[in-house]
Amino acid sequence: MSGAAGRLYLVPNTLDFGVEMAAGEAPDLRELLPMSVLRVAAGLTHWVAENAKSTRAFLKRVDAVVPLSQPLQQLSILELPRPHKGGSRAGPAADLSGLLAPALQGLDLGLISEAGLPAVADPGAALVQAAHAARVPVIALPGANSLVLALAASGLNGQSFAFAGYLPVEASSRAARIRELEASSRRGQQTQLMIETPYRNEALLAALLAHLQPTTRLSVSVGLTLPCGTTRTDSVQAWRAAPGALRADIPAVFAFLAA
Amino acid sequence: MSGAAGRLYLVPNTLDFGVEMAAGEAPDLRELLPMSVLRVAAGLTHWVAENAKSTRAFLKRVDAVVPLSQPLQQLSILELPRPHKGGSRAGPAADLSGLLAPALQGLDLGLISEAGLPAVADPGAALVQAAHAARVPVIALPGANSLVLALAASGLNGQSFAFAGYLPVEASSRAARIRELEASSRRGQQTQLMIETPYRNEALLAALLAHLQPTTRLSVSVGLTLPCGTTRTDSVQAWRAAPGALRADIPAVFAFLAA
């Protein structure tokens, strides 16, 4: 084992994961990420990923701007253990110390999600925790995060906010959870943020419109950072009068603030 | 009034505001922000700013990479009304419709903070709200946000988190608030995020170490995105044994998660 530990870099991915794009249509990564991030990413030889395939696609886009320090085929890309259903915990600690091994041997290691920042509304926090426990320095690199962009664009309270993960899928539990979050929002004038898998965007919007108070302000951001991106903020009453339609193929972020 | 409204762009600033740098030492903005953001910023002729002086400094750095569409002296840069002490509200609505006037006349308008994203733990939400009310499209551009970078780097729960703004300064109210946030954290396994003005970093750390439970995990990120940036996550017990020192001249983000 060489002396100092390597660093664990949290590398932001773009927010266009899963968006249908014609070949060659994906924008130059310099448009979406700072050069310092691309340079660090191009230099890393060991990766831990939410998904190896999307990581290779990301690294091809990096390589088009800053040549990778080693050919893509020679990079080590290991996947995070799948999170337990509905839980925030990753698999057993043993797996994680294996993933962390390169850093313990003095090599810098990248952690990357399919979209956005790792470990925020995404897997990876357990690996970061293991890194701190092993005294591996952790460096989060700047990039787009859909929750915080949606919050900024909402015009709702940015001085007090909370994200509570996915809502329950079952209708009555979901309704109860929405009412509970609205009560929290009212008590602390706290903006509540939530996300859903895109094909359930419409169902979540319908549930919010059914269960929130008419005067609660609801904001829906769709396709953040994409050319088609929009944000609408209106009272629940105004949404009910003209609900519009949500695309089922691109991610949305929902935010509300009780009056 | 021309037909369509202009857009309100929320433009991210860097996180190096107030950091002492030798002349010419500020890094090229391409290192810190995506090109798409720099291009939009260079094209805007009307701005609403937390601070006009820091906005001019930002625009000089933009101009070094993408020439501004008009000379800096000819740009309109108006300041947001100062928020009421301790409150999240901006001044009277009348001021805001004045600030929004260029967008209503069809011109794109930029909103920018001294550091990070506008309207998130920063002024600007009231202007965004006024934009939605006037049907001005709002577009949040991607950039670094210190809260979300600190959360990612903490290794604490990124599936459930809350930001509650500044804590009270008075000692007994502050202690009560810390205990209240720790109870919330325990109930929902919710990471609690907070910030402080840099010269009070040490005082906030001391208060957290005095009032949190020994098994609560506390993370402190200092100087995010700066070369000197570090994140330490440890149990309160381990922090108490070796508290270290926090710099009083650069921003820090504090996060904790109760066991």
Q: Are residues A13 and A124 in the same domain?
A: yes
A75: in domain:
yes
The Cα–Cα gap between A259 and A214 comes to 9
Contacts of A129 in chain B (CB under 8 A): 155-156, 233
Judge whether A139 is closer than 8 Å to chain B, CB to CB: yes
Nearest CA in chain B to A89: B157
Judge whether B148 is closer than 8 Å to chain A, CB to CB: yes
Interfacial B residues in 175-234 facing A (CB < 8 Å):
188-190, 219, 221, 224-225, 229-234
Q: In this model, does residue B20 exceed pLDDT 70?
A: no
Q: Are residues A53 and A106 in the same domain?
A: yes
Chain centre to alpha carbon of residue B247? 19
Range of the domain at B176: 146-257
Last residue of a domain, one of A140, A175, A198: A140
Q: Are residues B173 and B202 in the same domain?
A: yes
Q: Are residues A108 and A190 in the same domain?
A: no
The answer to which of A230-234, B26-30, B127-131, B215-219 has the lowest mean pLDDT is B26-30
Q: Are residues B131 and B23 in the same domain?
A: yes
The answer to which of A211-220, B11-20, B128-137 has the lowest mean pLDDT is B11-20
Give the CA distances from residue B49 to residues B7, B9, B217, in Å, rounded to whole numbers and listed in that order.
16, 12, 37
Contacts of A35 in chain B (CB under 8 A): 28, 30-31
Nearest CA in chain A to B9: A153
Q: What is the mean pLDDT of residues A80-108?
A: 74
Q: Are residues B131 and B195 in the same domain?
A: no
**Is the Cα torsion angle B13, B14, B19, B22 positive or negative in sign?**
negative
Q: Are residues B157 and B45 in the same domain?
A: no
B123: in domain:
yes
Question: What total of structural domains would you count in chain B?
Answer: 2
A156: in domain:
yes
Residues B179-222 have pLDDT tens digits of: 999 999 999 999 999 999 999 999 999 999 999 999 999 999 99
Cβ B204 vs Cβ B194: under 8 Å: yes
The Cα–Cα gap between A62 and B124 comes to 34
A72: in domain:
yes
Judge whether B10 is closer than 8 Å to chain A, CB to CB: yes
Alpha-carbon distance A233 to nearest alpha carbon in chain B (angstroms): 6
**The pair of three-digit structure tokens given for residue A10, joined into one six-digit string:** 């949290």
A111: in domain:
yes
Out of A35, A124, A125, whose CB is closest to B31?
A: A35
Please answer yes or no on whether A154 and B232 come within 8 Å at the CB atom. no
Q: Are residues A135 and A189 in the same domain?
A: no
* Residue B23 pLDDT level (bands cut at 50, 70, 90): low
Q: Are residues A151 and A135 in the same domain?
A: no
Rounded to the nearest 10 degrees, the angle between the axes of helix A125-133 and helix A93-104 is: 60
Last residue of a domain, one of A124, A140, A156: A140
> Quick one: CA torsion of B150, A195, B120, A114, rounded to 10 degrees?
50
- Within 10 A of A75 (CB to CB), how many other CB atoms are there? 18
> Quick one: CA torsion of B258, B221, A50, A52, rounded to 10 degrees?
-160
Q: Which pLDDT value is given to residue A165?
A: 86
Q: Are residues A169 and A239 in the same domain?
A: yes
Residues A112-141 have pLDDT tens digits of: 999 899 999 888 999 999 999 999 999 999
- Report ipTM for this prediction: 0.93
The Cα–Cα gap between B115 and B23 comes to 19
CATH number of the domain residue B253 falls in:
3.30.950.10
- Within 10 A of A99 (CB to CB), how many other CB atoms are there? 24
A25: in domain:
yes
Q: What pTM was computed for the model?
A: 0.93
B2: in domain:
no
Contacts of A230 in chain B (CB under 8 A): 137
Last residue of a domain, one of A97, A118, A140: A140
The DSSP-derived string for A77-142 is: EEEPPPPPTT-S--S-HHHHHHHHHHHHTT--EEEE-SSS-TTSSSS-HHHHHHHHHTT--EEEPP
B1: in domain:
no
Out of B119, B144, B160, whose CB is closest to A165?
A: B160
Q: Are residues A14 and A131 in the same domain?
A: yes
Alpha-carbon distance A74 to nearest alpha carbon in chain B (angstroms): 27
* Residue A2 pLDDT level (bands cut at 50, 70, 90): very low
Q: Are residues B159 and B126 in the same domain?
A: no
CATH number of the domain residue B100 falls in:
3.40.1010.10
